[in-house]
Amino acid sequence: MRDKRNKLQSQILASIKARRTRGTVVHAPHDRSHGMLIASYNVHKCVGVDGKFDPGRISHVIREIGADVIALQEADSRFGERRGLLDLAWMERETGLCPVPLSGVAKAHGWHGNVIFFREGLVRHVHQVKLPGLEPRGALLTEIELEDGSSLRVIAAHLGLLNRSRQQQARTILDVMRSRDDTPTVLMGDLNEWRLGDRSALNTLSSVFGLPPAVPSFPSRLPVFALDRIMANRPGLIEAVHTHDTPLARLASDHLPIKAVVKLGSALAHTQAAVD
């Protein structure tokens, strides 16, 4: 227990020290010759840290990121009709991103709050997974065929607040993976897990995805906890994970977006050859 407390104190101190340089990094447009940019963003039902509901701020942060594929969490109201909180047509005009189409959702924009947007390519498959647990949670799986002929499977998930539920949900995601062909896959979302160890959902997922890098993204004003993760089922498939830390991102949601570059095709083959 003391080790965990000391580690948390160290993370808080590191985050406080990092505040001095926050906002000094220039987020230049992504150079797509280096690979595909993917991102994950818990939009907190479009309610910022100032308590204001403002979907426009969320769209502007997404435009700042400039991702080719982005997974959103909490894009719908949580209970009742699960009403969508983003104008999808307006989002497409603003960001150039198309939502992955879903079935069986009337007024919602996502599946249990999860939405995947993509810039280019063809959606070959969409699978909506209801995750077990006391809370209404889900995962959204899609396979995108890119213009160069390569394919990428994307799993967007938002795991529960209870440890037991996260363990069950992680095992469900792995079961879905085992039932499908072996394809380059990224899992991203708010996994609500920042600890490691035998009781961690991250440890359960590591058998397929390895242990993801810990990049503190919550709370957005003083990020200490690495609740948001991007992980891949192949070594070298993703490059280093970073937060998208801008003044607007700190305000628009209580989570910072995280992002990484995906290497597919010849770039991945070159990386794997270097590892071998």
| pLDDT tens-digit series, residues 240-252 | 999 999 999 999 9
- pLDDT computed for residue 267 by the predictor: 47
- pLDDT computed for residue 28 by the predictor: 66
Report the chain's mean pLDDT, rounded to a whole number: 86
Confidence of residue 186 (pLDDT cuts 50, 70, 90): very high
Considering the domain boundaries, does residue 15 fall inside one?
no
Considering the domain boundaries, does residue 65 fall inside one?
yes
CB 216 within 8 A of CB 243: yes
pLDDT tens, position by position, 83-130: 788 888 888 999 999 999 888 776 677 888 999 999 999 998 999 999
Long-range contacts of 241-245 (CB under 8 A, 24+ apart): 241/212, 241/213, 241/215, 242/215, 243/215, 243/216, 243/217, 244/27, 244/39, 244/61, 244/64, 244/65, 245/22, 245/23, 245/25
Considering the domain boundaries, does residue 270 fall inside one?
yes
More confident residue, 274 or 208: 208
Q: Which two tokens stand for residue 149?
A: 């002929």
Considering the domain boundaries, does residue 53 fall inside one?
yes
Considering the domain boundaries, does residue 147 fall inside one?
yes
Taking the C-alpha atoms of residue 157 and residue 112, their distance in angstroms, rounded to an integer, is 9
Q: How many domains does the chain have?
A: 1
Query: Taking 70 as the threshold, does the pLDDT of residue 79 lie above it?
Result: no
Considering the domain boundaries, does residue 8 fall inside one?
no
Considering the domain boundaries, does residue 68 fall inside one?
yes
Confidence of residue 24 (pLDDT cuts 50, 70, 90): low
Q: Which two tokens stand for residue 190?
A: 């708010």
- pLDDT computed for residue 195 by the predictor: 85
- pLDDT computed for residue 162 by the predictor: 95
- pLDDT computed for residue 69 by the predictor: 97
Query: Taking 50 as the threshold, does the pLDDT of residue 273 lie above it?
Result: no
Confidence of residue 275 (pLDDT cuts 50, 70, 90): very low
| Cα-to-chain-centroid distance, residue 176 | 18
Taking the C-alpha atoms of residue 239 and residue 196, their distance in angstroms, rounded to an integer, is 21
Query: Taking 70 as the threshold, does the pLDDT of residue 34 lie above it?
Result: yes
More confident residue, 24 or 64: 64
Query: Taking 80 as the threshold, does the pLDDT of residue 68 lie above it?
Result: yes
232: Cβ–Cβ under 8 A, 6 or more apart, which residues? Answer: 184, 185, 186, 187, 209, 210, 238, 262
CB 42 within 8 A of CB 73: yes
CATH number at residue 235: 3.60.10.10
Query: Taking 80 as the threshold, does the pLDDT of residue 48 lie above it?
Result: yes
Query: Taking 90 as the threshold, does the pLDDT of residue 59 lie above it?
Result: yes
Exposed (0-12), middle (13-18) or buried (19+): which is 140, by Cβ within 10 Å? buried
Considering the domain boundaries, does residue 196 fall inside one?
yes
The parent domain of residue 145 ranges over 35-275
68: Cβ–Cβ under 8 A, 6 or more apart, which residues? Answer: 30, 32, 36, 37, 38, 118, 119, 120
More confident residue, 214 or 273: 214
DSSP state of 116: E
